[in-house]
Amino acid sequence: MTDSVKPIGVDFHCHLDLYPDHEAAVARAEAARVYTLSVTTTPKAWPRNHELTRGTRYVRAALGMHPQLVAERIDELPLWERHLPETRYVGEVGLDAGPRFYESIELQKHVFRTILERCSEAGGKILSIHSLRSVPVVLDMIERYLPRNRGAVVLHWFTGSKSEARRAAALGCYFSLNAEMIRSDRGRALIESLPLDHILTETDGPFTHIDERPAEPLDIRVTTETLAKVRNVTVDEIAKAILANLQALLR
């Protein structure tokens, strides 16, 4: 994710393979010069994502095992482990303790622990992590199974408390923020409190919308502009900080 031509922004969590035309979605992100992490939800989705991003400058694919799919896809965990050496990026992974998925939480913990342990063993991986209604447990597991010197964590669409955010930042975690988060008073208050040097941007497209259509990496400009208003700084200041944070993360 480096290039001599100035990028327009960072979309560190987007599901490009869930758009109607996966290949075209990758091409649009690449043409827009948006540093994009194309996360996946199952290991079986990895080969095609890897193929489409192998030669791109701005788009990278991440190897995922989404917590919401763990109950029905647990048999793919060995496949996830086999593919891990092929990428530096891991996501979407984590825990979801919401009502629809709480029944599988112990199985999710098993999978998440395995993912963290394998990433720690490999070293140098960057993870995009889901933590809905499970922030304390997610942070406990990160602290126990993925030491800071063995990998890096970006908490996607973080919905924890300010104290949990402080703990996450102390553990070295980054936060990828999207436009949906900024629409609530609670979300804005949380974003105002986050350390500027731990912030990245995301769309989480196609699960978020801009102008009544699924958001795409090019729409990261909207998120950046809104973040600037919430933080009471200029768009240029936010954009420069986010790019600097990405560079620090990759180092």
Question: With pLDDT > 90 as the criterion, what percentage of the chain qualifies?
Answer: 95
3-class DSSP state for residue 217? helix
What sign does the CA torsion over 105, 107, 110, 116 have?
negative
pLDDT of residue 6: 74
pLDDT of residue 1: 60
Task: Please state, in angstroms and rounded to a whole number, the distance separating the CA atoms of residues 251 and 248.
Answer: 5
pLDDT tens by residue, 47-73: 999 999 999 999 999 999 999 999 999
State the binding site. Answer: 13, 15, 92, 130, 156, 204
Q: What is the overall mean pLDDT for the chain?
A: 96
CA distances from 99 to 74, 96, 107, 164, 244 (A): 19, 9, 15, 21, 38
- Are residues 61 and 90 in contact, defined by beta-carbon separation less than 8 angstroms? no
Instruction: Average the pLDDT over 12-38 and give the result.
Output: 98
Residue found under tokens 């694919």: 61
Q: Which residues make Cβ contacts (< 8 Å) with residue 71, sequence separation at least 6? A: 101, 103, 104, 107
Per-position DSSP letters for 162-213, written without gaps between them: HHHHHHHHHTT-EEEE-GGGGGSHHHHHHHHHS-GGGEEE---TTSSEETTE
Strand partners of residue 126? 89, 152
Annotated binding site for a divalent metal cation: 13, 15, 92, 130, 156, 204
Q: List the structure tokens of 136.
A: 């304390």
Q: How far is 114 from 51, CA to CA, in rounded Å?
A: 25
Q: Provide the H-helix boundaries in 54-182.
A: 70-73, 77-83, 105-122, 135-145, 162-170
Is residue 202 predicted with pLDDT exceeding 90? yes
Residue 223: alpha-carbon gap to chain centroid: 15
Is the pLDDT at 3 greater than 50? The verdict is no
Residues 116-167 have pLDDT tens digits of 999 999 999 999 999 999 999 999 999 999 999 999 999 999 999 999 999 9
Q: 3-state DSSP call for residue 5?
A: coil
61/121 Cα distance (integer angstroms): 21
Q: Which CATH superfamily includes the segment(s) 16-250?
A: Metal-dependent hydrolases (3.20.20.140)
Whether residue 90 is predicted with pLDDT greater than 60 in this model: the reply is yes
pTM confidence score: 0.96
Peptide bond connecting 92 to the previous residue in cis, omega within 30 degrees of 0: yes
Q: What end-to-end distance do the CA atoms of the chain give, in Å?
A: 11
Share of the chain above pLDDT 70, in %: 98
Give mean pLDDT, residues 73-84: 98
State pLDDT tens for residues 161-187. Answer: 999 999 999 999 999 999 999 889 999
Is 4 a residue whose pLDDT tops 70? no
Distance from C-alpha of 139 to C-alpha of 173, rounded to nearest angstrom: 9
What is the spatial distance between Cα 246 and Cα 16, in angstroms, rounded to a whole number?
20
